[in-house]
Each structure stands twice: as C-alpha cells, then as structure tokens.
C-alpha cells in the first residue's frame, strides 16, 4: 500500500508513511480521515523517506489549502515531515513549510535523530 496510516492514541500521534507510487489524492484523503476521527490535535508525522519524486509546488499548495478548508480554523497538532536528505527534497520541504506557515508550523526532518527528537517533543509516551 503506497500510504500507510498508523494511529497511536496513547501518544496522540499519527504516522503517515508514503512509498512510491502514491496518489496525491490519497494523501488528501488522510487529512479528511484525521478530521473525521477527531484526531486533528494529534501530532502528525509524514514519512516520505521511501519516495523518489519531488512533489510539485502546485500539489503542495493544494495540500495546504485542503488542510485549511478541512480544519476550518481549528488548531492542528504539530506536523513533521521526514524527507530523504537530498537538495531537491529539502527545497520542496521548505516550500511546504512556507506555504503552510499561515496555518501551522511544520518541521522538516532529515534523519533518524531528528525524527526521534521530534517525537519526544511532540508525542511523548503518556
């Protein structure tokens, strides 16, 4: 399955793992699922390390717009995106972070240490 959705209620953490090939609309469906499950305030970790293609800026804008519409102004939990440490992916991550800034701070993570630190800060064991 190109998108795996894991929910950890104890940590209030959603982990969405992307693998190639995935459909961008399936990612939008995950946003809808988060709203429907009333987990909007959960920390969300998008793990894209297993993807090869850079998401086009138009799709990133579509994602941020969709999140804003679905959330209807409700505060969302912390968001982290894990990407392969490549210059093109980093540029895409920075674009997504900038596009989402009016709605949510988003952290771009490049390695296992950063991911572990993000989880410890945003989704500790309760």
pLDDT, tens digit (0-9, with 9 covering 90-100), for 45-94: 999 898 887 778 788 788 888 998 999 988 889 999 898 888 888 888 88
| Interatomic CA distance for residues 109 and 29, integer angstroms | 23
Q: What is the separation of C-alpha 15 from the centre of its chain, rounded to a whole number of angstroms?
A: 8
Q: How many percent of the chain have pLDDT more than 70?
A: 94
- 79 within 8 A of 46, measured Cβ to Cβ: yes
Confidence of residue 114 (pLDDT cuts 50, 70, 90): very high
Domains of the chain with bracketed CATH? 3-122 (3.30.750)
| Interatomic CA distance for residues 73 and 58, integer angstroms | 22
Q: Is this structure's pTM higher than 0.75?
A: yes
Helix (H, G, I), strand (E, B) or coil at 83: coil
| Interatomic CA distance for residues 82 and 89, integer angstroms | 10
Q: What are residue 64's phi and psi, to 5 degrees? A: -65, -35
Confidence of residue 12 (pLDDT cuts 50, 70, 90): very high
Please give the structure tokens belonging to residue 52: 């090869």
CA-only gyration radius of the chain, Å: 13
| Interatomic CA distance for residues 31 and 99, integer angstroms | 16
Q: What is the separation of C-alpha 119 from the centre of its chain, rounded to a whole number of angstroms?
A: 13
């Amino acid at each position: 399955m190109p998108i795996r959705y894991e929910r950890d209620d104890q940590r209030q953490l959603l982990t969405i793992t992307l693998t190639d090939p995935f459909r961008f609309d399936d990612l939008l469906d995950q946003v809808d699922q988060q709203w429907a499950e009333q987990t909007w305030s959960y920390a969300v970790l998008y793990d894209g390390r297993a993807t090869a293609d850079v998401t086009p800026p138009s799709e990133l804008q579509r994602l941020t717009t969709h999140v804003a519409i679905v959330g209807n102004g409700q505060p969302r939990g912390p968001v982290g995106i894990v990407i392969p440490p490549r210059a093109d992916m980093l540029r895409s991550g920075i674009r997504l972070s900038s596009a989402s800034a009016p709605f949510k701070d988003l952290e771009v993570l490049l390695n296992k240490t950063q991911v572990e630190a993000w989880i410890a800060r945003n989704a500790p064991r309760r």
